[in-house]
Amino acid sequence: MTSDGLHCPESWETRDLQSVLHGFTHLGTLQQSGPVVMSRGEGVYVEDSHGKRYLEGNSGLWNMVVGFDHPELVGAACEQYQKLPAYHAFFGRISEPAVALSEKLLEIAPVPMDKVFFTNSGSEANDTVVKMLWMINHGLGKPHRRKILSRKNAYHGVTGITASMTGKDYINAFGLPLDGFLFADCPHYWRYANEGESELEFSVRYARNLEAQIEAEGPDTIAGFFAEPVMGAGGVIPPSEGYFEAIQPVLKKYDIPLIADEVICGFGRTGRVWGCQTYNIVPDILVASKCITAGYFPMGAIMVSQSIAEKLNEAAEQYEEFPHGYTTAGHPVGCSIALKAIDIILNKGVFDNIIAVSPYFQERLASFLSHPHIGEARGIGLMGALELVVDKGCKTPFPPEQPVAEQIANVALENGLICRPIGQAIVVAPPFIITRCQIDELFDKLQITIDKVIGS
Ligand SMILES: *Cc1c(COP(=O)(O)O)cnc(C)c1O
């Protein structure tokens, strides 16, 4: 595969190694196998600069959900580039597509929402929400109400603020989290349940823990609680049964806004348009990004409830504005692409395809449980993870010096499948347009790969 390219000084791989600083990249693997430089794409497949084809089992980074060659998305971009190729959203000025997209998002929101704010990414969107909450409380004369609650193993982004809400050890590399960023429990039943505890009991216990944590911190010091409906980059962790039903009354009791980070779940991933609908979540603020443009343009969007919008307005009056915004956010081309992407997903058969094929996807995923080293097969809709264990009974993970998930992902790549190691789990989240036949190809390749790396 790409290792041929490593020995040729003119190859894309060599040029990459000499010029690119890679984020979120295992340096051992990069050194050994080199980068994979993509050249083109077709449907659910991408092709590298040597012409090797891969089934994109992760939709890129969860987002490239309608394939790599959708003519209507390209058409929408071209059309808008010809009409008004750039504009911003400051000083009360904005482009037509940004207004139309705001209306569309409010129309399809899972609960009544009032206003939309655009960013360029999911991180920027979550970062913006925290600043909104801080400004609201400042305006209300409660400047001490600024602590942010998220959950262990959550992923909310990489800015200083959002990395502080990301419950992963690697944030320590930056001396994060910042003060006042707190982590509640991760509702992963298989991993954390007590002996003999039912899923519902587990959820109730976690809700009680949350209440105790809020009481200990002081309820009037907490500005908001962030949660992904399904934890994505944490390793596809659907909440335990009854979890959101149990925690929402606690948040309500203390008047703590709930922010649904729908960056991965939004637009169909869980089998409903929103993860909030899958799990009966009633958020005060909703954050969308990834699938909103099917990956064809950088974009994040925040929807706020009427109550949040009013409070933000009041706070803004004191300062004469909401002093926040991104130069390129609400870009007319991005908004035109998003309008088209949402139309394609919801009205042109893509969402119907998710409904049609996801039971089969989950069935094939679950069949891996018969493997002696797969401890848990979990997922919902078109996302899933296989947790690799040394011992199924004790759920013992493989030790760090035996990075089997990383090895499986590397061998899968040789076999023409892109999948992703997260901790000691393998994660798959294919494009929404995947066919039943391509689901077979995905899991057949994964089966062969796992058997090769850790035996059958
Ligand atoms: C990817 C992701 C983000 C960050 O989005 P970026 O566009 O990478 O900044 C935030 N929240 C969740 C749940 C994500 O999956």
What are the sequence ranges of the domains in the chain? 36-69+351-454, 73-347
- Cβ-based burial of 366 (10 A; exposed 0-12, middle 13-18, buried ≥19): middle
Question: If you take atom 10 of ligand 1, which residue's CA is the nearest one?
Answer: 156
Residue 4 has pLDDT above 80, yes or no: no
pLDDT tens, residue by residue, 376-410? 999 999 999 999 999 998 999 999 889 999 999 99
The predicted model gives 68-82 an average pLDDT of 98
Residue 255 has pLDDT above 70, yes or no: yes
Higher-confidence residue: 5 or 216? 216
Largest Cα–Cα separation, the chain: 66
pLDDT tens, residue by residue, 256-302? 999 999 999 999 999 999 999 999 999 999 999 999 999 999 999 99
pLDDT tens, residue by residue, 113-149? 999 999 999 999 999 999 999 999 999 999 999 999 9
The fraction of the chain above a pLDDT of 90, given in percent, is: 95
- Band the pLDDT of 456: cuts 50, 70, 90: low
289 Cβ inside 6 Å of ligand 1: yes
> Across all residues in the chain, what is the average pLDDT?
96
pLDDT score, position 38: 98
Ligand 1 atom nearest the C-alpha of 158 is 9
155 CA distance to ligand 1 middle (Å): 7
264 Cβ inside 6 Å of ligand 1: yes
Q: Which CATH architecture has domain 73-347?
A: 3-Layer(aba) Sandwich (3.40)
Give me the DSSP letters along 33-62.
H----EEEEETTEEEETT--EEEETTHHHH
Asked if 95 and 87 count as a contact pair (C-beta separation under 8 A), the reply is yes
- Band the pLDDT of 29: cuts 50, 70, 90: confident
Q: Which letter does DSSP use for residue 158 in this model?
A: S
232 Cβ inside 6 Å of ligand 1: yes
Whole-angstrom Cα Rg for the chain? 22
122 CA distance to ligand 1 middle (Å): 4
pLDDT score, position 26: 87
Residue 145, token pair as written in the block: 């109400």
Mutate to test the pocket of ligand 1, among 226, 274, 290, 326 (most ligand atoms within 8 A of CB): 290
Place of tokens 């050890």: 169
Q: Which CATH architecture has domain 36-69+351-454?
A: Alpha-Beta Complex (3.90)
122 Cβ inside 6 Å of ligand 1: yes
pLDDT score, position 400: 86
Query: Cα(236)–Cα(375) distance, rounded to whole angstroms?
Result: 14
Rounded to 5 degrees, what angle do the CA atoms 12, 16, 17 make?
125
Kindly report which listed range (3-17, 166-180, 413-427) carries the lowest average pLDDT score.
3-17
Asked if 259 and 228 count as a contact pair (C-beta separation under 8 A), the reply is no
- Band the pLDDT of 21: cuts 50, 70, 90: very high
pLDDT tens, residue by residue, 86-118? 999 999 999 999 999 999 999 999 999 999 999
pLDDT score, position 1: 43
The predicted model gives 76-88 an average pLDDT of 98
300 CA distance to ligand 1 middle (Å): 9
Q: Do domains 36-69+351-454 and 73-347 have the same CATH topology?
A: no
Question: If you take atom 11 of ligand 1, which residue's CA is the nearest one?
Answer: 156
448 CA distance to ligand 1 middle (Å): 31
pTM reported for the whole predicted model: 0.97
385 CA distance to ligand 1 middle (Å): 18
- Band the pLDDT of 6: cuts 50, 70, 90: confident
pLDDT tens, residue by residue, 226-240? 999 999 999 999 999
| Exposure on the CB side of residue 188, measured as CA atoms within 13 A | 20
Residue 170 has pLDDT above 60, yes or no: yes
Helices (H) and strands (E) in the chain, counts: 17, 16
